[in-house]
Homo-oligomer: A and B are copies of this chain.
Amino acid sequence: MSVLIVGSTALDSIKTPRAENPRLLGGSASHAAVAASFFAPVRLVGIVGEDFPKKYLKLYQQHRIDLAGLQVEKGRTFHWSGEYEVNMNNRRTLLTELGVFETFTPHLPDDYKRSPFVLLANIAPALQHHVLDQMERPKFVVADTMDLWLNIALDDLVRLLKRVDGFVLNDSEAHQLTKEDNVFAALRKIHRMGPKYVIIKKGSHGSILSGPDGHFLCPAYPLHKVVDPTGAGDSFVGGMMGYLSTARGGVERNLRRAMIYGSVVASYCCEGFGLKRTTKVNRADLEKRVEELEKLTRF
C-alpha cells in the first residue's frame, strides 16, 4: 500500500567542522520519502520554487516517488542553513529563507486522498491539519514535529494529537511538551493527549515506543562515524512508515520491526551529507544492518 508523505522540501546548506555543503536536497518530506521508498510506493506533497534543481526532481523519480502532489511555484525554494559542532550533537541555524514555503497550502490530488498510510512529517501543524482535512478514512496516520511548533503553534499541535494514531517527537520536545523529566511519565501524558502510539526519539541512544502492547526499546544502529545527522529523524519515521505499509498482519504486529528498519535507514542518512548516502543504498544493505542489530541486541 502506498504512503502519503507531506512535509518540507528544501535546500539545505550544511556546515560541519570538516566540510561545507551548499544547497543539498533536504527537508523533512524529502528525507522521509526517500526512506519510505525502499519499502513502498510514496506520494510526496510539498512545494518548491523555480530554482529547485532538476537533478533533485530526477532523484525523487529514481526512487519512484510520485510527484503529482509536489507544487512548483514562482519564487525560491525553502532554504535552510545550519552548522554542527565538533561532536555532531549540537547544531545552530545560520539562516532560514522560507521562499515559496511561506504561502504553502497543501492540495492533495484526488487519488492521494485515499492513501491508507499517512505521514505528516515535520511541518507547521496547521498544514498537517489541512492535509488530514482532505483525507478519506486513512488507515494509519503518524505525525512528526519539532520544537519550533511547540514554541509558536502549540494549540494547533495539541488539536492535531487528537486526530493521529501515532506521534513521534524527540526527548527534549517530550520534556518541553509535558514538563516531565522521566520519559515514561512523559509518554503517559502524551497518550492522554490523544495518540494510541507514541515514539520518543533519543538520537544515538535509539527510541522508545509506547502503545497498547507496552513499550519497545528500539536501538539506534551503532555508527562508527557520523558525517551529518540532518534528516535522521525524518528518515527514521519515513522508513518506519514505508515498512509498515507493506508488512502483513497489521500495525501492532509490525511496528517494532518497522522502527528497526527506520533506525537502519536513519543510520545510513547520518553517514553522508544530506541524502547523499541514503540514495546510494539498496534494500539488501538495509537487511544487512537489520540482521546486525539482531546480533547486537541478542542475549
Contact = CB atoms under 8 A, between A and B. Distances in A.
Interface of A: 86-88, 181-185, 202, 205-206, 208, 214-219, 222-226, 256-257, 259-260, 294-299
A217 B296 contact: yes
29 contacts: A86-B181, A87-B181, A88-B181, A182-B224, A182-B225, A182-B226, A184-B222, A184-B223, A185-B224, A202-B205, A205-B205, A205-B206, A208-B222, A214-B295, A215-B222, A215-B296, A216-B296, A216-B297, A216-B299, A217-B219, A217-B222, A217-B296, A217-B297, A218-B299, A219-B219, A256-B298, A259-B299, A294-B299, A297-B297
A202 B259 CA distance: 22
A299 B298 CA distance: 10
Nearest to A224: B184
A224 to B, nearest CB: 5
B299 A256 contact: yes
A149 to B, nearest CB: 24
A256 B217 CA distance: 17
Closest 3 CB pairs between A and B? A256-B299, A205-B205, A184-B224
Nearest to A218: B299
B182 A299 contact: no
Contacts of A299: 216, 218, 256-257, 259-260, 294
A47 B257 CA distance: 51
Contacts of A214: 295-296
Contacts of A224: 182, 184-185
Contacts of A206: 205
A192 B182 CA distance: 37
A5 B259 CA distance: 41
Given A182-B223, A205-B206, A214-B296, 18 more contacts: A182-B224, A182-B226, A184-B223, A185-B224, A202-B205, A205-B205, A215-B296, A216-B296, A216-B297, A217-B219, A217-B222, A217-B297, A219-B297, A256-B298, A256-B299, A257-B299, A259-B299, A297-B297
A217 B224 CA distance: 14
A263 to B, nearest CB: 10
A295 B216 CA distance: 8
A45 B272 CA distance: 51
